[in-house]
Structure 1
Amino acid sequence: MHAEILFENGWVYTGNDAGPLRANLAIAEGRIIAVGTPDELHDSVTPKTRKVDLQGQLVVPGFQDAHIHPIFAGIELLQCDLTEATSAEEAMARVARYAADNPDEPWILGAGWSMDFFPGGTPTRELLDAVVPDRPVYLVNRDHHGAWANTAAFEAAGIGAETPDPEGGRLEREEDGTPAGTVHEGAMDLFNAVKPAVPYELAYQGLLASQQLLLSQGITAWQDAWVPIPEGEHADHLDVYMDAAKAGDLKVRVIACQWWDRTAGMAQLEAITQRRDRVADSFDHHQLNANTVKVMVDGVAENYTAAMHHVYLDHHGHHTDNRGIEFFEPEELKEFVTAIDASGMQVHFHALGDRAVTDALDALEAARDSNGSNDNRHHLAHLQVVRSEDVPRFAGLNAAANVQALWACHEEQMDTLTLPFLEPGAEDRHYPFGELASAGARLVAGSDWPVSTADPIAAIHVAVNRIAPGEDLPPLGPESQKLSLKQILDAYTQGSAWINHLDTETGTLEPGKLADLAVLDLNVFDLPAQELHRSVVTQTWIGGECVYDRALTRNSQAQPASVMP
């Protein structure tokens, strides 16, 4: 077969080799037909072949984000976006400016504030009252496990001193019990009945805004880790994906991970499988599928809701009686995970604390004992703390470790809101990527954007160094928890392709596979480890189509991905 496109004069990392090859890569009909030297590919090149001069750049398989929230992130980009704020003062100024610019919005909605801006990670309602006193304000924090509201919002929701903490949630309170301004986990749901619904058009535009950004970061496929069955007037994100795919607006390959509602019980499985089948009947599963279920096992460590085997400490270093929150009793978790597995669906766990990890692995073991082995490819995301005795169970259960590598470093939130409240020695058990890999666990990678940046290069830098780009802090944990460049790059490509059931078509660059790839300006294998973050994506290709070109966007306003050359 003759090449329609030829990448030449650069490096190619196929994923099947120890490092990059000085080679050309030939594409035809959207697929890779050959990787080799100019002499080896000579016969496939014709005068009609389009040549792409890499000028020494590196081609890698397209990145696949195995845990991300693109539609929610895009909606937040179009609302009151606080992700770029660097202080409490700046966050409040952004809220005031957004409110002034949008005088007709009945509620000020948004997200992205950092807990470390505020004492104890819990801002007060009075801070928001000072900048927006006349309308309800409701702002989700960066990790999306808590929210900050003003007095008008609490009043609109009918939340007062007499309102009990809901199961699976907590309100910060003043001395007399009045809500102080911050709510955690399930307490966020207390506002659902009065907050404006997210309209369909906003969700659709949010998807397109997110896709444009993610393509610029070399991401060619993702697993959306939160696609709920909608309530009330809220847009159905599954419909958004299906409509975008039908319209040709969806360029990436998407696995829509359906949300397991912890209040709905086993009855919801029928609706989930029906939604899965509706997608399967209409789309090639390499483009869009919904055969995954997201199960939230626990919360997060910063607000002491991650489920731990050891109790949290208080501000004086004394033991408390709090071990975090398990959103399901272990036996209940085993029951419905076994049913999901029996239905042929993948389970995607949020398991951050070590007790949540144990519960999730126990549930998978129960499912295997009941249903036998299969190829459903279950995975556990986040894995902030994992007990040593649970590490080898990943390989034994064929459960993948879904790592958010960007978090595996010292930073303000980690050092002020997390480590001081965990048992001594917890730092050595934090994000034990190296230990998991050494025990044979399959590593896959995701970002959890918009909790943190979706940029795979930044996450790769941290996985290798255990230090954030540009920081001079010590590495987080022992050297043994670091990953090699190849390990984390493979996790972000072929590892995530495997968890996404896309590995037969993507994840490596070899003949017969789809031409999903990213071009990096620097050969990262030649860079010192502390300089990995310097590399940037210059092009992204999906199915042999260039869907992002940095050279074009630097000289003009970013174009919608659907009109990229």
Structure 2
Amino acid sequence: MHAEILFENGWVYTGNDAGPLRANLAIAKGRIIAVGQPEDVNRTVTPETTRVDLDGQLVIPGFQDAHIHPIFAGIELLQCDLTQARSAEEAVAAVARYAADNPDEPWISGAGWSMDFFPGGTPTRQLLDAVVPDRPVYLINRDHHGAWANTAAFAAAGISADTPDPEGGRLEREEDGTPAGTVHEGAMDLFNAAKPPVPYELAYRGLLASQQLLLAQGITAWQDAWVPIPEGGHADHLNVYTDAVKAGDLKVRVTACQWWDRTAGMGQLQEIVERRDRVAGTFDHQTLNANTVKVMVDGVAENYTAAMHHVYLDHHGHPTENRGIEFFAPDELKEFVTAIDASGMQVHFHALGDRAVTDALDALEAARDTNGVNDNRHHLAHLQLVRSEDVPRFAALNAAANVQALWACHEEQMDTLTLPFLEPGAEDRHYPFGELASAGARLVAGSDWPVSTADPIAAMHVAVNRAAPEEDLPPLGPESQKLSVKQILDAYTHGSAWINHLDAETGTLEPGKLADLAVLNLNIFDLPAQELHRAEVTQTWIGGECVYDRSHTGNTETLPVPVMP
């Protein structure tokens, strides 16, 4: 077969070698037909072949994000976006500007504020009342496990001093019990009946806005970790994906992870399976599938809702009675995980605290005891703390460790809202990527964007250094928790391809596989570890099509965003 496209004069990391090779790579009909020594690959070249001069750049398999929320992120980009605020004052000012610019919106909705901007991570309603007194304001925080609301929002939702904390959630309160302004976890649901639903058009625009940004970061596939069965008039995100495929707007390969509603019980499994089968009967698995289920086992450490074996400490370092929140009793978790597994679906756990990790592994062990060994490829995401005795269970159960590497460093939220309230010695066990890898756990990688940046290179930098780029802070934890460049790159490419059941076609660069790849301006294997963040994506290719070229765009614009009617 003759090459339609030839990459030459650069480096190629196939994913099957110890490091990059000085090699050429040929593509035809959307697939790789040859990779290796130039004199061998160039036998496929004809005068019609398009030649891409790499000029010393590095070709890698396309990044695949195994835990991301693109539609929600895109919606938030189009609403009151607080991700660029760097202080409480900037966040409030951004809300004021957005309200002034959008006088006809009945609610001011948005997201992205950082807990470390505010004392105790809990901003008050009065801060919002001062700039938007006449309309409800509801703003989700950066980690999406809490929200900040003004007085009008609490009133619209009927939330008062008499409203009890819901199961699995908590309201911050003033001395007389009045809601203070911040709500956590399940208490966010108290606003659902009052908030306006997200319309379909906004969700569709959000998907395409996100795709623009993600293609520019070399991402060729993702697992959307929250695709709920819609209710209350909200857009059906699964329909957004199916419509985008039909319209030719979706360029990436998507695994839609269906949400397990903790209030809906076992009865929801039938509809989840029906939605999975409907997608499978219409679309090629390589383009779109919905064969995975997201289970939220616990919360997050910074608001003391991550489920821990050890109790949290108070502000004086004394033990409390709080071990966080388990959203499911262990026996209930075992029951429905076993049923999901029996249906042939993958389970994608949010398991952040070490007790949540134990519960998730116990559930997978129960499923295996009942259903036997299969190829469903379950995975646990986040893994902020893992007990040493649970580390070898990942490999034993063939459960992948889905790492969000960008979080494994000292930063303000970690150092002021998390580490001081955990058991002594917890820092050394934080995000134990190296320990998991040494014990044979399969590593896959994701960003959890918009909780943090979706940039895989930034996450790789932290995984290798255990410190954020250009930050003068010590590494988080011992040297043994660091990963090599190869380990984290493999996690972000063929590791995530495996978790997405795309490894037969993607994840490595070898003849016969789809030509999904990214081009980096620098050879990251030759960079000093502290300079990894300097690398940038210059091109992204999916199925042999260039879907992002920095030299042509100068920015992240790769696809038009439709105007909402």
Same fold (TM over 0.5): yes
Letter in 2 for 1:45: V
Alignment of 1:414-563 (within 5 A): 414-554=414-554, 558-560=557-559
Deviation at 1:561, TM superposition (A): 6.5
User: Counterparts of 1:155 and 1:349 in 2: how far apart (Å)?
Assistant: 35
Are 1:381 and 2:381 an aligned pair?
yes
User: Counterparts of 1:537 and 1:557 in 2: how far apart (Å)?
Assistant: 11
Letter in 2 for 1:327: F
TM-score by length of 1: 0.99
Deviation string 1:271-295 (CA, Å, 9 cap, x unpaired) is: 0000000000000001000000000
Letter in 2 for 1:12: V
Deviation string 1:38-65 (CA, Å, 9 cap, x unpaired) is: 2112320000000000000000000000
Deviation at 1:267, TM superposition (A): 0.2
Deviation string 1:155-201 (CA, Å, 9 cap, x unpaired) is: 00000000000000000000000000000000000000010100000
Deviation string 1:2-26 (CA, Å, 9 cap, x unpaired) is: 0000000000000000000000000
Give the structure 2 partner of residue 368 of structure 1. Answer: 368
Deviation at 1:557, TM superposition (A): 7.9
Contact 2:59 2:519 in 1 (8 A): yes
Contact 1:13 1:60 in 2 (8 A): yes
Deviation string 1:319-362 (CA, Å, 9 cap, x unpaired) is: 00000000000000000000000000000000000000000000
User: Counterparts of 1:125 and 1:90 in 2: how far apart (Å)?
Assistant: 16
Deviation string 1:406-436 (CA, Å, 9 cap, x unpaired) is: 0000000000000000000000010000000
Give the structure 2 partner of residue 14 of structure 1. Answer: 14
User: Counterparts of 1:47 and 1:397 in 2: how far apart (Å)?
Assistant: 52
User: Counterparts of 1:423 and 1:222 in 2: how far apart (Å)?
Assistant: 35
Letter in 1 for 2:37: T
User: Counterparts of 2:18 and 2:39 in 1: how far apart (Å)?
Assistant: 22
User: Counterparts of 1:220 and 1:42 in 2: how far apart (Å)?
Assistant: 26
Deviation at 1:221, TM superposition (A): 0.1
Count residues with an aligned counterpart: 562
Contact 2:209 2:561 in 1 (8 A): no
Contact 1:249 1:562 in 2 (8 A): no
Letter in 2 for 1:259: W
User: Counterparts of 1:561 and 1:278 in 2: how far apart (Å)?
Assistant: 28
Letter in 1 for 2:88: A
Deviation at 1:37, TM superposition (A): 1.7
Alignment of 1:291-370 (within 5 A): 291-370=291-370
Letter in 2 for 1:403: V
Deviation at 1:263, TM superposition (A): 0.2
**SS of aligned partner of 1:75:** helix
Are 1:203 and 2:203 an aligned pair?
yes
Query: What RMSD over aligned residues (CA atoms) do the two structures have, in Å?
Result: 0.9
Contact 2:137 2:153 in 1 (8 A): yes
Give the structure 2 partner of residue 253 of structure 1. Answer: 253
**SS of aligned partner of 2:256:** strand
Contact 1:251 1:562 in 2 (8 A): no
Identity of aligned residues (%): 88
Letter in 2 for 1:250: L
TM-score by length of 2: 0.99
User: Counterparts of 1:522 and 1:124 in 2: how far apart (Å)?
Assistant: 46
**After the TM superposition, which parts of structure 1 deviate over 3 Å for at least 4 consecutive aligned residues?**
none
Are 1:400 and 2:392 an aligned pair?
no
Contact 2:66 2:222 in 1 (8 A): yes
Are 1:72 and 2:60 an aligned pair?
no
Deviation at 1:559, TM superposition (A): 3.9
Deviation at 1:560, TM superposition (A): 1.1
Are 1:44 and 2:44 an aligned pair?
yes
Give the structure 2 partner of residue 125 of structure 1. Answer: 125
User: Counterparts of 1:353 and 1:327 in 2: how far apart (Å)?
Assistant: 12
**SS of aligned partner of 2:39:** coil
User: Counterparts of 1:536 and 1:458 in 2: how far apart (Å)?
Assistant: 10
Give the structure 2 partner of residue 287 of structure 1. Answer: 287
CA 18–66 in structure 1, closer or farther in 2 if over 3 Å, else same: same
Contact 1:211 1:561 in 2 (8 A): no
Letter in 2 for 1:212: Q
User: Counterparts of 1:38 and 1:300 in 2: how far apart (Å)?
Assistant: 50
User: Counterparts of 1:286 and 1:6 in 2: how far apart (Å)?
Assistant: 24
**SS of aligned partner of 2:525:** helix
Give the structure 2 partner of residue 277 of structure 1. Answer: 277
Deviation at 1:553, TM superposition (A): 1.6
Contact 1:517 1:541 in 2 (8 A): yes
User: Counterparts of 1:83 and 1:356 in 2: how far apart (Å)?
Assistant: 28
CA 79–62 in structure 1, closer or farther in 2 if over 3 Å, else same: same
Contact 2:193 2:232 in 1 (8 A): no
User: Counterparts of 2:560 and 2:248 in 1: how far apart (Å)?
Assistant: 10
Structure 1 gap segments, 5+ residues each = none
User: Counterparts of 1:15 and 1:203 in 2: how far apart (Å)?
Assistant: 35
**SS of aligned partner of 2:106:** coil
Contact 1:547 1:561 in 2 (8 A): no
CA 227–201 in structure 1, closer or farther in 2 if over 3 Å, else same: same
User: Counterparts of 2:42 and 2:222 in 1: how far apart (Å)?
Assistant: 35
Contact 2:212 2:556 in 1 (8 A): no
Deviation at 1:265, TM superposition (A): 0.2
Deviation at 1:558, TM superposition (A): 2.2
**SS of aligned partner of 2:226:** strand
CA 286–561 in structure 1, closer or farther in 2 if over 3 Å, else same: farther
Give the structure 1 partner of residue 23 of structure 2. Answer: 23
User: Counterparts of 2:473 and 2:209 in 1: how far apart (Å)?
Assistant: 34
Give the structure 2 partner of residue 101 of structure 1. Answer: 101
Alignment of 1:109-120 (within 5 A): 109-120=109-120
Give the structure 2 partner of residue 171 of structure 1. Answer: 171
User: Counterparts of 1:42 and 1:63 in 2: how far apart (Å)?
Assistant: 27
Structure 2 gap segments, 5+ residues each = none
**SS of aligned partner of 1:39:** helix
Contact 1:548 1:561 in 2 (8 A): no
Contact 1:4 1:48 in 2 (8 A): yes
Deviation at 1:472, TM superposition (A): 1.2
Contact 2:548 2:558 in 1 (8 A): no
User: Counterparts of 1:152 and 1:297 in 2: how far apart (Å)?
Assistant: 32
